[in-house]
Amino acid sequence: MEQIKIVHRRTSQGTPGVRLFLGNGHIFITCQLYDIAVLLRDNQRFVVESIWVKNADEQAAAVSTTRLHNIAGKYTGKDDPVTLVRVQSDFSATGDVLFPYSIGHFVAGFMRGSHNGPLMPFKVNTTISFFDGPLVVTSQAFSMREVKFIELSDCFDHPFWEYIRDQVSHKALEIRRQGFSGCAMLPYSELEYGGIVEKMKKLDKKLKIKE
């Protein structure tokens, strides 16, 4: 399955649309917000690459979407995405951008890259612990003056996020009780490490089709 990138922007008439990238080509289609939600339900297939302000050629967000194991054909290192987001003025408020991280979404990457787990908003330079995690997201905010970044701030270094981290910890423990089956695990096509893939190749030689 090839990866398709989605660029959410608006036409000159303000109609929402997405640009779909497949291989070396791309198409632009108009669609409603629910249509975009349908595309984004499959995290391993569709991703948001950038977001643009409506009726303006101003980019609000850029997301790294390259999958290393898709390029090399094997595990070559962790896929740690980076996002740059502009806030205030014509863009969303800082609080709007940070709010989704209070949910602790279940995402891929827990323990050896083969498990799903909740995304925990960490302070910058926090150490990793439980089950090689929990999965970490950090956020740093900068003010800008005369085209220079100033006044660095750690967005998740606040008492509110301590409560969120407690909630996400509970979610991490619950999904680990699921063991190595079902929703706790990545689908076979998304495994970052090659151990299970190599094991399946060996087992495949031993399996026989029942006549």
Encode pLDDT of 3-36 as tens digits: 444 444 444 455 555 666 555 555 566 667 777 7
Task: State whether the Cα torsion 26-28-29-34 is positive or negative.
Answer: positive
* Across 188-197, average pLDDT: 69
pLDDT in tens, 129-174: 888 778 899 999 998 888 888 888 999 999 999 999 999 999 999 9
DSSP assignment letter at 125: T
How many other CB atoms are found less than 10 A from the CB of residue 37? Answer: 9
DSSP notation for 154-165 = ETT-SHHHHHHH
Residue of higher predicted confidence among 20 and 207: 207
Residue 35 pLDDT:
76
Residue 2 pLDDT:
40
Alpha helices of 8-113 — where are they, by DSSP H?
Answer: 33-40, 68-72, 94-98, 110-113
Residue 159 pLDDT:
96
| Range of lowest pLDDT (54-68, 95-109, 117-131) | 54-68
Site of tokens 């036409």: 11
**Residue 137, C-beta contacts closer than 8 angstroms, at least 6 positions apart:** 101, 119, 120, 121, 122
Residue 43 pLDDT:
75
